[in-house]
Every structure is written in C-alpha cells, then in structure tokens.
Amino acid sequence: MPRTTSSRAGTTLTWRRAALGTALLAVATLLLPAAVGAQPAPADAPRGPTPTIEPGVRAAVERGERARVIVELTAPAPALVTGRAADAAERTLDASRTGIAEALPTADAASIQTVDGWPFVAMEVSADGLAALAARPDVRSITPNGASAPSLTQSIPLIGGDDAAALGYTGAGQTVAVLDTGVQTDHPFLAGRTVAEACFTTDNGAGIVGQCPGPDVTEATGPGTGAPCPLASKCTHGTHVAGIAVGSGVGIRGVAPEANLISIQVFSRFDAGCGTESPPCVRVTDFDLIRAFAFVYDLRDTHDIASVNLSLGGFPLPSWCDFDGRKPMIDAMRAAGIATVVASGNDGAKDGIQMPACISSTISVGATDVADNVAGFSNSAPHLAMLAPGVGTNSSVPGGGFGTKSGTSMATPHVAGAFAVLAQQHPDATVDELVGLLRGTGVPVRDGANGVVTPRLALDRATRPPTFHLREPVRVLDTRDGTGSGVAAPVGPGGWVDLDVAPATGLPVGEVTSVLVNLTAVGASTPTHLTMWGAGFPEPATSSINVLGGETRANAVVARVGPDGTVRVRNNSGSVHVVVDLFGAWDAGGDAATGLRYDAARLPVRVLDTRTGTGSGAAAPIGPGGSATFDVATACPQPGAVAAVVNLTGTGAGASTHLTVHAATSPLPGTSNLNLTPGHNVPNGVTSLIGTDGKLAVFNNAGATDAVADLQGCCNATAASPEAGRFVPADPTRVLDTRTGLGTPAVGPLVGPGGLTVEVQGNHSGVPRAGIDAVVLNVTALNAAETHHLTVAPTGLSLDEVFAVLNTSVVNYEPGRATANLVIAPVGPDGKVTLGLTQGQVDVVVDVVGWLTA
C-alpha cells in the first residue's frame, strides 16, 4: 500500500507545555497520552511586486539572444490540493497562464510549454518578453532552462547488498524511477518489473529535436515510451543505470533486485551546444525534468515510489543552489516520501557538486573505486551527502548484454536502489529518516584531495546496525601527563586533540564506528565547553561538556569515529586539561555485529540511594576509599544482562573526590566516572559490566559522599530479534533550546511545576519514526534559578508510571553553571519525550546523538 494518504494537506504533531496547580499534577499531565492536533497546510508564499530573475537570463537577452527559461508563477499548485481547493487553484493557474501568453510578443508566446497541475511555464523569451514577465505580479521567478548531460560485479558486495538480500531486504514492493536516456525494459536483467513508462523531450525547430516515439515527439506515455532514445551510441546510459538500481539475474544483481521500475526518457537530441562532445549529442532540459517529476508525483498513490534516480547534471557549484527552478518539484516529491538521488558530477571538482545535486533537498552522490577511495573524477564538497561505488561497474546495456561504465552516474543508482531496500524494511519512514540511517551507518571515507569525509553506502550496516562491545575502562587520553597526546600540556583556546581510540577498543581495524567515553575537563582557566566528534567530519554545532573556570567536570559522550579511527576534542575558550576514559565501542554492523544489544527500561528505576539505604542497605554516605554495592540485574528489562546503564549522581560530598562505578566482582579500574567538590550535586551517565553476582559497586576516593543511581537500561548478549537494540549514530543535532525557542512553542525557560514535550523522532533530527526503542541525548540544564533536577520519560505514561518517574533524575543542576548529561531515553508512541520539572525554572538544551533500534 502506498505510504502517502489521499489527503494532500500536511499534518504536524503539536508540542504542549503545562503549568498546573501542583508539581505532580503538572508533570503527570505532560506525561499522560495527549491528542495529536492537525494543523492546516502552509499558505502559498506571498506575491511579490517583482520576480527574481537569474542574471544569466538578463545577460542573454541583452546580447540579443532568445533565452530558454522556466517561469515559476505565484499561483498555487493544483497537484498539491484536492476538491474545491484544487478547482480554485486550477482556475487561478489558468488565468495566470492566459495573462502571460497575452502579454508576451507573439514569437515568445508561441514557445510556451506548461505542465499539468504545477505553476511552471517554459518558453524562449526575448528582451521584450522578459520585460513583460518582469512587470507581472503573478511571476515569482525566472531561471534558465538549462541542459544537462548524462554523467558517466564488485560493487554490490562492497556496499553489503548481498547481506541485505540474504535478510530478505530486496526492495520488494518498492519502485525506483529512472529519469535518463531510456531503458530497455525487456532486457533479461530487467524484464517483467516495469510498472510505468513515459517520455518528455523538447523540439524547438532550431537544433533541439524531440526524441519521443509516436506522433508527438515531445511527450508520450504508456508501454514502450520509456525505451532508449534513437541516437543509439548516446543512449545506453539509462539501461546501465537501471540495472545497477534494480537489476536481477543469475550470478549478478542490482541493489534492489525485486524492486519495480519506472522508466522515463528525458533526453532530446542537440545538433549544437555539445561542448567538447561532437554533435549530435543528447541533453535534458530542466523543464523536461520538471515534466517528468510531475509524472512521477502523479503516480505516488499508485505505486510505492522510494526514489528518483538522476544520473545527470551540469556544472559544479561550491554551495547550495536552491535558486534552481527544479527545487519546488523536488521538495514536493520529498514531502511525498520520494527521494531524489542525483550524481555529484565527473568534473573532478573538489570544491563543489553539480546542478541539480547541489539542491539541498536532493541526495547527492559521489563515486568511490574498488579500493574505497574517492574517485579522482568525482566532484566533492562538504555538502555532498553520500558516496557509492562508481568505477568499473558492470551492468545491463541495450541489446541484452552487459557492459562496464564508470562515473558518479554509476554511484547514484546504488543509493537510489538502497532507498528501495530500506523503504521495504521501514515502510513508514520519511526521506529524512532514511537519509539519516544511510549516513549514520555509512563507512566514512576521506577525499585525499580536499580532506572532506563523506559516508560511503553500507547497506549491510543500514539493515543491521552496529552492536555494542563493552570493555574494562581504560584511560586513553590525559593531557596532564601526555597520555594519548604525547604532550603534557593543556588544550588552548580553539585548540584540539586528535585521539586514536580504535586500537583500545579491542575490535578489528576498520570495524569501529562509534565509542563510549567519559570526557573530563580539568582545571579550566575560564568558563568553556568541550566538543567531541569524529575527526574529519564537520564540527557539530553542539557541545559535549560545559565547565566553569577552576573546576573539574565529567560527562559521558557517544562519538562517531573518523575514517582513521580517531576522535577530536576541541576546547572553546581559555585553556583546559582533558581526560578521556574509554568504556566501549560499537562495531561496524552487518556480519561484524557480534556485540551486545541494549534494552531500554520503559521507566528509569532508582537502584541506589545511600541517603535512604535504597540498594545499599544502609542509610549512610560512602566513606573515603569505601564502596557501596547494589543490585541491578533484577531491575533490568530482560534476564541475563551483562552490563547496565545508570545515571549516577554524587551529592553532599565532604571533600573533593571522584566516584568510579565497576562490576562488583571485578577489581577497581584506574578511571573515574564523575568528579565532586563540596556543595555541588553532579550527575553523569555510566555504562558498566555487571558483576557475576548481578551487582555494581560505586567507589569513593576521598571524604564522604552520598551516591544516587537510576537504571536506564541494560545490555544483553543475545536478542530475540537480530535487529533489536542496535545503535545508529547521528550527526549531533540540536532539537531543543529554550533560550532561542528551538523545538518549543515559545522562547523562555521551562517553569515548574510543569514539563516540556520534545519531538526527537523525525523533525530535523534524522531519527526514524518507526523501529526505534530509544534515543541517545545530551541534555544540558543552564541558567537555573535554584538547585534542582530534571526528569526525562517517554510520552504516553499512566499516572502511576508518572509518579514513578518523578522519583528519579537525569540532570541535577544548580545556579551559575551549565550541567550536561548523556541520557538514553525511550520514546513515546508519538515519537516524543517529556522533560519534567517540579519546581523552579531552568533553560534546557537537548542534542540528539543517535538512536537504538527496536
């Protein structure tokens, strides 16, 4: 069944904020199930007095040329609405088209082309015609109707396609649309799976010749119309591309061998304007792509279309090109669950990617070779989305045979086919969510020419994400004595340390994707924050730990590793020593996924409180050099747990000290989990092996202090489902900041008694809306009015469950400092979590760093 509904109006999930009479009632109300409100679709953009005109269009007509242009009208798109609204939109659009035709010189008006249901008009315009268009209030933009060229048995195993197919993920029930030079649909590699065909080309009587079969050489639909274009030597490209995406044969297959195919031939014959290529050549105009997009969009309720493949393009640009006239159509398809996957280009540019891959709502793809290096011809830039194999790729060619081609054109259908495979596995996922899954599980590859790191498609990891490998804690960095850095010196302002963490994980080389560490800032000279991320990836706009001048503070951090197994720790201000203790790592997924799964507790459970004797058996602080042991195994969600994740809080310390958590039956490691000073409450997330007696121990180094531990979940060695409890890292993404209003209905602190419901799935976080057990968050409390704590819980709880949550905490904070803590939080049925506060007020920042599969 198609993933879209018959209604074209969008719906969004609303967030709620409560402030009721009492603390318990307020927070309880926030955590209980709430109705989801539908909001109307956004209104069309306001009409402007003058349209946007690309400079190239003006330059062409000033030279006396007639410019091929695409005119976007301000009229609403009838294709995006239904019923009376669609009828009204059609009338408005017709009136606008008629008015434009009447205002133009006769020759310009005679060249007009339209596309049903969409406010786009193509034409060849003179200087007088451009002036007439510029004077109209119903014209939004005028952009060039450019022409793009096609971008020219080892790849499927390399991306893990065989492993995905072995699990039954073959793209069955999904469809890939190939907009190219046409496809030989009866080729043995492709036969029997074409569900629709069409052709859209241009014939202007002046050197651009339509190539569609039948009496109308500019448009045709139905069986056979998506066949290869007539210029045989130039028209093998589409069949080759289709085979990579969905081909199926004996001993060779494409990425999604059971997916269906839509073939659309969009290339016209150009008798001139072929650049270095001898004419005639084949090119596709921007407007013919728009017509093809409209054809695909109209089929969205008939077929489950996972992706559109565009192995074509123009010149590279160093930044986003969202001025491109094709963007509105690409946006509409993305909103309908259809990914537009585009080749980055073969110019060898290392500071840009070609149009239309540079449109921000596409998924751009560069090429790697068999050694997993970025191909020299592949365009690359920081805004490139994915890499895939594109050198020496063997696939179908017209005539029933096979041939080898290289180019980003060959890389692109690998990713288009991957969307079909993942859409089969996650039929309710959005394009944003599938992009997050592909990027989060991809193999990081550094382009040696520019240093840019981009994830290379790894379908085995995407269908079977990484598992966790816990180890005895080990110190891997200490800038005080040079451990790990080689230099005994603090990190200066804006400085960083690159740390090779992979060898200490115990995993094979190249099979470490993320690490779990305890990051400690020591002796900061001024208030600052540290950020940890995979070396080579762009620095995230988030922080890992905040620290005041002179203090020592720790926080658990989950960080993706770079291509060479390193992480980077950057200091923002002043100077500070940095200590990193490694607790575990995630493997590469797929066949390498031999580690632990994570079972999130539906609700946090208090398993230790030395103030009351909970867990420890005695209501007394832990003395110097002493330990408190407590049972966790019986509170784990599943029996047989080998490790536990707790939120540990130190409170009431009589002296500066540190706490260390370890398996109760194992020796004390030479590491720490949190650092305490008198008068401060300090939290930190801790993951530890469980002792053979089912217990953990908390060791206190000096003085006397109380300790509190809330169980968040446990790790088990086996899983009923091979996909459960696996970790997918995300590009750290901020989803809430009450200081700016991000993720909340209004700017301002969270006020108790009350709570704040935060959407952590979907949204812009990249976390899928389905198949998720928990999210991994970094929660920071700051600008507090008084000492207190936050709770985090899934939405949809019963009243009894709400009261249980209120007896736990995830972040203990105090005035004058920012306190961060790593939290693994189950999500509610609506993809949200609730932050609860019983008194006072505090600003809260939430960053998503990954998620765990259900």
| Residue 592 backbone dihedrals phi, psi, to 5 degrees | -80, -5
Dist CA 805 CA 809 (whole Å): 8
CA separation for the pair 392, 310 (Å, rounded):
19
Q: How far apart are CA 377 and CA 344, in angstroms?
A: 10
Dist CA 326 CA 556 (whole Å): 44
CA atoms lying within 13 Å on the CB side of residue 92:
18
The stretches of 397-512 forming alpha helices (DSSP H) are 408-425, 431-441, 459-463, 502-505
The whole-number pLDDT of residue 383 equals: 94
Round to the nearest angstrom and report the end-to-end CA distance of the chain: 23
Q: How far apart are CA 194 and CA 192, in angstroms?
A: 6
Identify the pLDDT of residue 423: 96
Could you tell me which residues come within 8 angstroms of residue 260 by beta carbon, excluding any fewer than 6 positions away?
A: 174, 175, 176, 193, 194, 195, 246, 303
- What backbone torsions phi and psi does residue 407 show, to the nearest 5 degrees? 145, 165
Taken as a whole, the chain contains a residue count of 854
In 3D space, the residue among 556, 540, 563, 552 whose CA is nearest the CA of residue 470 turns out to be: 556
Q: Could you report the per-residue pLDDT of 580-603, keeping only the tens digit for each?
A: 999 999 998 887 778 888 888 888
Calpha distance 833→312 (Å, rounded)? 42
User: In one letter, which amino acid is 595?
Assistant: G
Class of domain 148-463: alpha beta
Q: DSSP secondary-structure letter at 691?
A: P
Which residues have CB under 8 Å from 150's CB, separation 6+? 180, 181, 237, 267, 282, 311, 312, 409
pLDDT at position 28 is 43
Give the pair of three-digit tokens for residue 769.
């809306």
Q: What are the residues whose beta carbons fall under 8 Å from the beta carbon of 99, sequence distance 6 or more?
A: 136, 138
Distance CA(333)–CA(319), nearest Å, equals 22
pLDDT value, residue 754: 85
Residue of 343, 412, 388, 420 whose CA lies nearest to 158: 388
754-769 pLDDT tens trace: 889 998 876 566 677 7
Residue 740 near residue 2 (C-beta atoms within 8 A): no
Domains 52-145 and 596-718 share a fold: no
Provide the annotated active-site residues: 180, 237, 409
Residue 563 region by backbone torsions, left for phi larger than 0, else alpha for psi between -120 and 50, else beta: alpha
Give 372's DSSP letter: S
Which of the residues in the chain have pLDDT under 70? 1-49, 151-154, 718-722, 762-766
Tokens of 848: 């998503």
DSSP state string for 231-254: -GGG--HHHHHHHHHH-B-SS-B-
- CA–CA separation, 468 vs 561, rounded Å? 14
pLDDT of amino acid 121: 96
Cα angle at 815 between 627 and 807, to 5 degrees?
A: 50
26: left (phi over 0), alpha (psi -120 to 50) or beta: alpha
Residue 407 — left, alpha, or beta (φ > 0 → left; ψ -120 to 50 → alpha)? Answer: left
Q: How many Cβ atoms from other residues are within 10 Å of residue 668's Cβ?
A: 11
- The 3-class secondary structure across 710-747, one letter per residue, is EEEEEEECCCCCCCCCCEEEEEEEEEEECCCCECCCCC
* Alpha-carbon radius of gyration of the chain: 29
Cα separation, 130 vs 122, in Å, equals: 13
What number of other Cβ atoms are within 10 A of residue 481's Cβ? Answer: 12
Half-sphere exposure for 541 (CA within 13 Å, toward CB)? 5
Burial class (CB in 10 A: 0-12, 13-18, 19+), 272: exposed
Domain 52-145 has CATH 3.30.70: yes
Distance between CA atoms of 355 and 138, rounded to whole angstroms?
27
> Helices 431-441 and 408-425: crossing angle, nearest 10°?
110
Distance CA 706, CA 681 (A): 10
CATH number at 468-592: 2.60.120
Contact 514, 507 (CB under 8 A): no
Domain ranges, ordered by start, for the chain? 1-42+722-854, 52-145, 148-463, 468-592, 596-718
Q: Residue 444 — φ and ψ, nearest 5°?
A: -70, 125
- Identify the CATH assignment for 596-718 out of 3.30.70, 2.60.120, 2.60.40, 1.10.3470: 2.60.120
- Note the pLDDT of residue 718: 55
Tokens (6 digits) for 123: 């034409």
Distance CA 18, CA 29 (A): 7
Q: Distance of alpha carbon 838 from its chain centroid, rounded?
A: 34
pLDDT reported for residue 17: 30
Pairing of strands 175-180, 305-310: parallel
Phi, psi of 627 (to 5 degrees): -135, 155
Task: Give residue 62's identity as a one-letter amino acid code.
Answer: E
Residue 163: per-residue pLDDT: 86
Choose among 269, 265, 335: nearest CA to 295: 265
Distance CA 292, CA 842 (A): 52
